[in-house]
Every structure is written in structure tokens, then in C-alpha cells.
């Protein structure tokens, strides 16, 4: 399978300032020499506790944080050195879904404005009525209703808001979606709905996912390949069945033991 994205020796260090002159006295190695690939149409799970660096990896791919070293290749082209205008086309091809559906939607914008904003940037030729039709299509794609287009975020439940977030990511017809804990703020019953929606969309649109989560049960269900991250390093990787049946690293075992079982 052709890798869509290849991350090699990725490093993200954050400076620690200290002393009277606020000089850099130390570094936090949030991501330390991480390498992995995601094949086209695959779902790769990135698992770890908070602070393990999993979200930082997701953010560094879309350049929401600066990387300190290593390379990111997308579809055979090195994207980690691109900036500004050169990176813009990749912002269309790579999208992100965030954890908290309450904080990731602007409360002063209507659903039309929220989903329309990426369209204004990446589909400049689209007229306003065309855009409205496209937004209505997207709402139906994620299981919402056309009539919801003029509403504000506070009028929706948590699960519905997450659907709006997904519609916004899908608006620009991306190939690759980074899902940063998309279901951990939701009720278990709603979580199941959103996970199913993500699976349906993947089949329908041929999407590739990087799925970041601390919930191993969800990851096992959804992912083709799993990377276990601890303190910025990948400590174990493999097929979900293999990892769950015979975890090699003590940290993986600790994570597995923590999953509540009925």
C-alpha cells in the first residue's frame, strides 16, 4: 500500500524559560524521534495518556506547532519545510477534528458561517447560493438536517456539535483527517454514533484517518494499525489484535488494564 503520509524522526521540543532573564534553561521533549506511516484509506490509531505527545504529533502535521527536527512527507512531497502560501493546498487536503465540540465552534457564528469559512478560503470560485447548497449537502452527509443551517452552536447537543465539526472538516473535500480525541468528550451512546459516522464516511469518501485517543476499546474497533506513545516516544506498534492480545511493553499493559470491563 502506498503511504499517504510518512513521518520520520519527528521531534517537537518546547523551551522551558527560567531565571531572572527568562532564558531557555531546559526543553520539554513532547515528541522525540517519532516515525510512522499512514497508508491511503487506512486508519492509524495513536494511543497514549495525556502528556504523551499524541496531540502534538497531530498538530505538527498541519503546522499548528513548529517542529524541532525530522521530516513529514505527504503524498511523496516534503511538507514540513513548506510555509505560508506553499502549504495552503495541503491545508485543504489535510483536515482536523477536535476533541471538545463546545470550544471548537465559534458561538457567534451560525452553522452556515462555520462550515462556509473553509469553503471561502479553498473554493473561492463558489458563489454564495452554491455554497449554501453545498453546506446543506454536508449537513445531511453527517446526519444533521438542512434546516439546521441558520442555527447557532448553543442550539445543538454535544454529539450534534461534533457532527458540525466533522462537516466543517469535510467541506473542503480532504483526503486525510486527523481526529484528535473526537469522542472522548461525548456520552458512550453518542460516542458509538460518531464512531459509526466516521466509519461510514471513510467508506463513502475513501478517507484516511489518524485517530488520536486514550480509549483503547474505541481504537481497537476503528483502527487498522496502532501506535502506542509514551513520553513522546513510540513504545509499541502493530495490529490492534496483536497489541491487545500480547502487549509487549509494560506501558501498553498498564493502558489496557485501565480500560473498564463489564
Partner 1 sequence: MTQALLNVKNLTIEFQGGNKAVDDISFSVAKGEAVAVVGESGSGKSVTALALTRLLPQPPACAIGGRILYREKNLLTANNEEIRAVRGKEIAYIFQEPSTSLNPVFSIGYQIAEAIKLHRPEVKDINAEIVRVLSLVGIRNPGQRLKDYPHQFSGGMQQRAMIAMALACQPQLLVADEPTTALDVTIQAQIIDLLKELKQKTDMSVLLITHNFGIVSGFADRVIVMFRGKIVEEGPTQEVLKNPQHPYTKALIECIPQLGQKKERLTTIDYSKIV
Q: Which residues bind partner 1 (CB under 8 A)?
A: 49-51, 157-158, 187-193, 195-196, 199, 214-218, 220-221, 240-241, 244-245, 254-262
Tell the smallest beta-carbon distance from residue 240 to partner 1 (Å). 8
State how far Cα 105 lies from the chain centre: 16
Give which of 185, 180, 215 is closest to 198, Cα–Cα.
180
At 249, list the grid cell. 511493553
Closer to partner 1 by CB, 14 or 87: give it.
14
Closer to partner 1 by CB, 119 or 186: give it.
186
Closer to partner 1 by CB, 2 or 50: give it.
50
Closer to partner 1 by CB, 112 or 220: give it.
220
Tell the smallest beta-carbon distance from residue 238 to partner 1 (Å). 15
Ordered alpha helix ranges (H), 206-246 = 216-222, 240-245
Tell the smallest beta-carbon distance from residue 165 to partner 1 (Å). 18
Closer to partner 1 by CB, 94 or 243: give it.
243
The alpha carbon dihedral of 173, 176, 179, 183 has a sign of positive
Tell the smallest beta-carbon distance from residue 199 to partner 1 (Å). 7
Residue 106: phi and psi, rounded to 5, are -70, 120
Q: For residue 254, give the H/E element and its range.
A: helix 250-258
Tell the smallest beta-carbon distance from residue 12 to partner 1 (Å). 20
Amino acid at each position: 500500500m502506498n503511504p499517504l503520509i510518512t513521518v520520520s524522526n519527528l521531534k517537537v521540543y518546547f523551551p522551558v524559560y527560567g531565571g531572572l532573564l527568562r532564558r531557555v534553561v531546559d526543553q520539554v521533549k513532547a515528541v522525540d524521534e517519532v516515525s510512522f506511516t499512514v497508508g491511503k484509506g487506512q486508519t492509524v490509531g495513536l494511543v497514549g495518556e495525556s502528556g504523551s505527545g499524541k496531540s502534538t504529533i497531530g498538530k505538527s502535521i498541519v503546522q499548528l506547532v513548529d517542529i524541532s527536527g525530522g521530516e513529514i512527507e505527504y503524498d511523496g512531497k516534503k511538507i514540513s519545510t513548506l510555509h505560508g502560501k506553499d502549504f495552503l493546498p495541503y491545508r485543504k487536503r489535510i483536515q482536523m477534528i477536535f476533541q471538545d465540540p463546545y470550544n471548537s465552534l465559534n458561538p457567534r457564528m451560525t452553522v452556515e458561517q462555520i462550515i462556509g469559512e473553509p469553503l471561502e478560503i479553498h473554493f473561492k470560485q463558489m458563489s454564495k447560493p452554491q455554497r449554501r447548497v453545498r453546506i446543506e449537502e454536508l449537513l445531511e452527509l453527517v446526519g444533521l438536517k438542512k434546516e439546521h443551517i441558520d442555527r447557532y452552536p448553543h442550539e445543538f447537543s454535544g454529539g450534534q456539535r461534533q457532527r458540525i465539526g466533522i462537516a466543517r472538516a469535510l467541506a473542503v473535500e480532504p483526503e486525510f483527517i486527523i481526529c484528535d480525541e473526537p469522542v472522548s468528550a461525548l456520552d458512550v451512546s453518542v460516542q458509538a454514533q460518531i464512531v459509526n459516522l466516521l466509519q461510514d464516511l471513510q467508506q463513502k469518501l475513501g478517507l484516511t484517518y489518524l485517530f488520536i485517543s486514550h480509549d483503547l476499546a474505541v481504537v481497537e474497533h476503528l483502527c487498522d494499525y496502532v501506535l502506542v506513545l509514551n513520553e513522546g516516544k513510540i513504545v509499541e506498534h502493530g495490529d490492534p489484535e496483536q497489541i491487545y492480545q500480547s502487549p509487549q511493553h509494560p506501558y501498553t499493559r498498564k493502558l489496557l488494564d485501565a480500560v473498564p470491563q463489564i
